[in-house]
Chains A and B, each alone.
Chain A
Amino acid sequence: MIVTAAGGFVIQLRNLSAIILPVMHIAGLHKVFDNDVVAIENLSLEIQPGEFVAILGPSGCGKSTLLRIIAGLERPSSGTIEIGSGKIAYVFQDAHLLPWRNVLRNAALPLELKGAGRSERTAAAREALEQVGLADAVERYPAQLSGGMKMRVSLARALVTHPDLLLLDEPFAALDEINRQKLDEQLRELWLRHRMTVVFVTHSTAEATFLANRAVVLSSRPGRVVADLAVDLPEKRISAVRSSPRFGEITHGIYDALERGGA
């Protein structure tokens, strides 16, 4: 699907687009809000299928806006964005669960909205919850969960559709350091297993280095790409990676780019 500047949708033949448009292609993207704030200016970016990309930048640089445009929740003011025809999932800054549903039914929500049958969505939700380590908590309600557990449910809800493109907007920022690192490790594991495309917005240089294969740094508002760095760490990352010299170098590289961008 291509979204053009005028907001018109060009629906491609599904099968065809999956073959010829596996790459996410963003070109000359501008986003100006109603209050004349220019959030994004002339941003171009290409993301390969199966890539794990971290997007960093100072507060208000349009990172979240970019993610919302990719998800189709917001329209660009001009420029084009092409994404494949795959399934998209989105994880917000906070868990945003439905408080009247238990964990299982929260995780099953996307499939329910897409019209899947009860047994199918229950099985898929159980599987997704198992992947985030919540197999024992399916009957509980959000009010009975800790912040870290809520975020895991939110992650399971995103995984339940087996997305081809997973968008995360500073998902673990509100958690304490230990929970955050645990969830980072889990997310990396999940990516290694499923190899979906991941775009992960974060403030943390260390989190970006640990998680991603590539770090894209945006400038302060209006957001442009300042640096596009490869994170050449081993594929499988364990906690010890964080103390390796290369980890420190990459983190510093990202930090320098952030400073250049006016953070």
Chain B
Amino acid sequence: MKPARTIFGALWPPGVVLIAAILTLHVWARILNKPYLLPTPDAVAKITIDRRGDLLASLWTTTEAALIGFFCSAGGGIAAGMALSASSLIRRAFYPYTVFFQTVPIVAIAPLLMIWCGPGLGAVALCAFIVSVFPVIAGTLSGLLSTDPALEDLFRLYGASRWARLWKLKLPSALPSIFTGLRVAAGLAVIGTVVGEFLVGLFGPGEGLGVRIVSAKKQGRTDEVFAAVLIASLLGLAMFAGINLAAKLLLGRWHASEQDD
């Protein structure tokens, strides 16, 4: 184990790409010289600092909605996956309809959600939920259905109860697959939230990053659009990292996908 080298080794390749990308953008924006189309990175940094109060408030609103949507997806998706795994009849009856969550064009139905729930936190969180629930269902289901048959035999041989089979065998076996679903859902929840907030922005005032993107765009403040987009992306990244950390804590000792090197 060489942690210092490992951290440096992990960070330098994306670091070089980041610096190169910022420099390229800067040079390009300077040559183009049209800040309403492409602001320079330092202009984006400046507006981020100048308007940090507003942006932080927006970030908080978006985070709240994204987290509510994500946790609903996690809870609902895992519960749905467990229900679907219970019998092949249930699966055949309901699974095709869960795919609906995957295929529904959220931009098209978001206005409906605004009309039904009002343009607020509820509707936005619902957008986040709809967009992010399917990967959790699919991950949970495939995890629960791919339990080692020999271990199922073993549990049967020792007269394990249905509950023991689920709790001591199927769910722990499914955890890596559930986490794969949760990782995808974390990013999608932020996307769903921002899309929801666009619509809120169209309906009137609001706080979220999506609202800010719409209003800044209306006023031609492209640098602020960039700042908000960047912050939203970082939020998605942070949620993804949070899931990774949880996965590491839960699976670290035993699952191959969570083991270093």
Contact surface of A with B, Cβ cutoff 8 Å: 68, 71-73, 88-90, 92, 94, 96, 98-100, 109-110, 112-114, 141-143, 161
Which residues of B sit under 8 angstroms from A71, Cβ to Cβ?
153, 157
Chain A to chain B contacts (Cβ below 8 Å), 19 pairs: A68-B153, A71-B153, A72-B157, A73-B153, A73-B156, A89-B157, A90-B153, A90-B154, A90-B157, A96-B148, A96-B154, A98-B168, A98-B172, A100-B251, A109-B154, A112-B168, A141-B253, A143-B253, A161-B158
B151 near A96: Cβ-Cβ < 8 Å: yes
Q: A99-B255, A100-B254 are in contact. Are A92 and B158 (CB under 8 A)?
A: no
Q: Is B159 an interface residue (CB 8 A)?
A: yes
Contact of A113 among B159, B255, B256 (CB under 8 A): B159
Residue of B nearest to A94 (CB): B150
Q: Which residues of B contact A112 (CB under 8 A)?
A: 168
> CB within 8 A of B169: which of A94, A98, A142?
A98
Which residues of A are found within 8 Å of B169, using beta-carbon distances? 98
Give A143 to B157 CA distance when docked, in angstroms. 25
Compute how far the CA of A261 lies from the CA of B18 in the bound complex, rounded to whole angstroms: 69
Chain B proximity of A124: nearest CB distance (Å):
13
Known: A72-B157, A90-B157, A114-B159. A141 touches B254 (CB 8 A): yes
Given that A88-B157, A98-B172, A113-B155 are known contacts, is A143 also in contact with B150, CB under 8 Å in the complex? Answer: no
Which residues of B have CB within 8 Å of A110? 154, 158
Given the complex of chains A and B, what is the CA–CA distance between A61 and B181 in angstroms?
Answer: 42
Closest Cβ of chain B to A129, distance in Å, is 17
Residues from chain B with Cβ under 8 Å of A92 in the complex: 150, 153-154
B88 interface residue per 8 A CB criterion? no
Report whether B254 and A99 are in contact in the complex, using a CB–CB cutoff of 8 Å.
yes
B103 neighbours in A (Cβ, 8 Å): none
B164 in complex: contacting residue of A96, A113, A143, CB < 8 Å: A113
Given known contacts A94-B150, A98-B169, A114 and B158 CB-to-CB distance under 8 angstroms: yes
Q: Specify which chain A residues have a CB less than 8 angstroms from the CB of B251 in the assembled complex.
A: 100
Residues from 169 to 183 in B contacting A, C-beta threshold 8 Å:
169, 172, 175
Q: A96-B150, A143-B256 are in contact. List 5 more A-B contacts (CB 8 A).
A: A113-B155, A113-B164, A141-B254, A143-B253, A143-B259
Q: Which 7 A-B pairs have the closest CB atoms?
A: A99-B254, A113-B158, A113-B160, A96-B150, A100-B254, A110-B158, A92-B150
In the assembled complex, the CB of B260 is this many whole angstroms from the nearest CB of chain A, namely: 12
Query: Contacts of B148 on A, CB cut-off 8 Å?
Result: 96
Q: Which residue of A lies closest to B157 (CB)?
A: A90
In the complex formed, the residue of A with least CB distance to B259 is: A143
Q: How far is the CA of A68 from the CA of B159 in the complex (A)?
A: 15
A27 to B259, CA, bound (A): 51
Tell me which of B150, B155, B158, B175 has the highest count of chain A C-beta atoms within 10 A of its own C-beta: B158
A125 to B254, CA, bound (A): 20
Given the complex of chains A and B, what is the CA–CA distance between A100 and B175 in angstroms?
A: 10
Inter-chain CA distance A110–B151, complex, in Å, is: 11
Residues of A within 8 A of B168 (CB): 98, 112-113
Q: B251's closest neighbor in chain A, by CB?
A: A100
- Chain B residue contacts of A90, Cβ below 8 A: 153-154, 157
